[in-house]
Amino acid sequence: MEKQIRARDPRRVARAITWIENGDPRRYPLMESLFPHTGHAHLIGLTGAPGAGKSSLADALITHLRHAGLTVGVLAVDPTSPFTGGSLLGDRIRMNRHALDEGVFIRSMGTRGSLGGLARATKEAARVLDAAGYDVILVETVGVGQSEIDIMHMVDTVALILTPGAGDTVQVFKAGIMEIADLFIVNKADLPGKGKLIAQLEELIHIAMNGRDWTPSITPVVSTSGEGMESLWERLKQHRHYLFTSGLGMERRRAHLKREVQEIMRNQLQIALAQKIETPPFQADLDQVQEREIAPHRVAHKWLQQLLEYEGEKRIDG
C-alpha cells in the first residue's frame, strides 16, 4: 500500500487515513514505511473563529494553487457528530468543485472528543498526504477559541483569519492566538470596517511582535471572488522562505516531532496505567490512600515505578 500512496492513489490515501482515524493496528507499519518519504510539503494552518470563512478561503486558495501547477491536500477538522462519530460540518461539500481534480485531496475529519481544534489523528493524516507528494497541505481547524493554539504544533505556517465587524480582534489577542499567527488574513474585505480592522491588527502586531525577526503581514482577501489570493500565496511563500533560510523552520519541525513523541509516550503510559490500576494490588494501595495511611504522591510514584519496570521487562522478554 505504501507504493500506491506514494503514487498518490486517492483510494489508498483515503483508506490509510481511515485506518488512522479508527485506530486500526495496520497503521503502525504503514506509517513507519511512509515516514522516510515525508517532510517535503508546506503545511499551512488556517484558523479563526467560526464564520470567518475558512472553508471558502481554502476553496479559493486551492483554485489559485492549482492554476500555479501545485498539488493540494486539505484536512478540514470539524466537530464530531454525536450520532455517527463522523465529521459534522463536512467541508468537502463547500469544496466539491475540486472533487474530480486528481491534484486535490480533501478530507473532513471529526475532532472525536479532542479538546483542541485539531483531531488527534490529524498529524498522521497530514503525514500520509506529505508522503503522497502533495506540495501544499492545508489544515483547517474547527474554530473554537484558545484551543486553536494546537495548530502551531503541527504546521509550518499559521494563518489567522479575521473578518470586519466581527469584534473578535481583542479577544484573539487575549486568547494568545495573536502570538502564534505567522500572518493575518482579513477575509470578506469588501465589507465595511476593513480599514478599522487592519489598523487594529497593525497596532496589536506592533505590541505583540516587538523585537521578533518575523513580522506577520496582513492580507485582505475576498474569498468568494478569489480577490487577493495571489498576494496571499506570495506572503505564504515568503514565510516559508524565511523559515528555511533562518533555520527556524527546522527548529520548529524538530519541536513538533519532540512534542509528538512525548504525546505518544504519554498516551501509551495512560493506557498501561489504566490496565494496572484495576488489579487487586493497586486497589489495595488505593484503599490505603483512602484511609489516609499513605499519601497520594507516594502511591503514584510507586505505581509509575512498577509500570516502567514492567514495561522494561516486557521488552527484554520480547
| Predicted confidence (pLDDT) per residue in 80-117, tens digit | 443 344 444 444 455 667 878 899 999 988 765 444 44
Residue 46: per-residue pLDDT: 93
CA atoms in the 13 A half-sphere facing the CB of 23: 4
Closest alpha carbon to 133 in 173, 112, 102, 161 = 102
Give pTM, 2 decimals. Answer: 0.84
Q: Which residues contact 220 (CB under 8 A, 6 or more apart)?
A: 185, 186, 189, 194, 198, 228
Closest alpha carbon to 138 in 122, 153, 150 = 122
Neighbours of 11 (CB within 10 A): 9
Cell numbers describing residue 296 = 497520594
Q: Per DSSP, which regions of the chain are E strands?
A: 42-48, 72-78, 104-110, 136-140, 157-162, 183-186, 217-220
Residue pLDDT, tens place only, 28-71: 999 999 999 999 999 999 988 888 889 899 999 999 999 999 99
Residue pLDDT, tens place only, 293-318: 999 999 888 888 888 776 655 554 54
Residue pLDDT, tens place only, 252-296: 999 999 998 988 888 888 888 888 888 898 889 989 999 999 999
Closest alpha carbon to 78 in 31, 143, 129 = 143
